[in-house]
Chains A and B, each alone.
Chain A
Amino acid sequence: MPSVTLKKPEIAATTEEKQKIVKFFRGMKGEVIFSKKVNKAKANLKKAKLI
């Protein structure tokens, strides 16, 4: 299996960006929900005239 090294970045995430990333991951409950999935669900509800 190929190996991947987590290299030290040239321009890494800034402290502020890192805080946002940590906040996002901590705020998540399990699955990461992507917008396409959300939009699809909304479209289905609209189709069913629930919203």
Chain B
Amino acid sequence: MIPNTYPLERDGNALKFSFVSYDSNGENRVIKIIAYDIVKKHKVTYYNLGFGDLNTATMEIDDEAESDNGDMRKVLSTVTSTLPFFFERHPTKKIHLDGSTLLRKKYYHKLVRDYYRRITEHYVVEGCLGSVVEPFDVKKEYDFILISLK
């Protein structure tokens, strides 16, 4: 969808992935974990696309961490590169995308706006406001975004 991604590692056949992010000097290496898990919103079941930094000391995932590697676009591009794996397994399901912080939420909206034409070549993008799901309007800010296969 978007060029320039980090190389992915997949956990067997599961919808769980990892990659390593680093700064422009190849330093400050951070292991990122991506996972799809079921989430219910307004009595509807979706698959949440979650990702965060692996804290190797506690073995916990921090989805609010700021690694400051200046590679947000590349990180998100890598995250979205897992979409085909998801839809290969669940072609009729919808992916739920929400930011763990307000800033991230805004950034995801911006990313969808910037790449809207390319994304919608393969996917249907919707936005949810309150309990109303509607086709994604680039002028609106939604509670969360839904992505499904065209």
Contacts and interface: CB of A to CB of B under 8 A. Distances in A.
Interface of A: 1-4, 6-14, 17-18, 20-21, 23-25, 27, 31-36, 38-39
Q: Is the contact region of chain A dominated by helix, strand, or loop, or is it mixed?
A: loop
Interface of B: 1, 6-11, 14, 16, 18-20, 22, 26, 29, 31, 33, 35, 37, 50, 52, 54, 56, 59-65, 81-82, 84-85, 87-88, 91, 100, 122, 149
Nearest to B26: A11
B8 A6 contact: yes
Contact of A8 (B7, B52, B84, B149): B7
B147 to A, nearest CB: 13
Contacts of A31: 35, 37
A31 B48 CA distance: 11
Contact of A35 (B18, B20, B63, B82): B63
A9 B50 contact: no
B61 A32 contact: yes
B20 A13 contact: yes
B84 A33 contact: no
Contact of A13 (B9, B37, B122): B9
A4 to B, nearest CB: 5
Nearest to B39: A37
B84 A36 contact: no
Given A25-B11, A33-B61, A4 B81 contact: yes
B20 A32 contact: no
A2 B9 contact: no
**In the A-B complex, the 3 residue pairs with the closest CB atoms:** A9-B7, A32-B35, A34-B63
Given A4-B85, A11-B20, A36-B64, A17 B29 contact: yes
A13 B84 contact: no
Contact of A9 (B1, B6, B16, B64): B6
Contacts of A7: 7
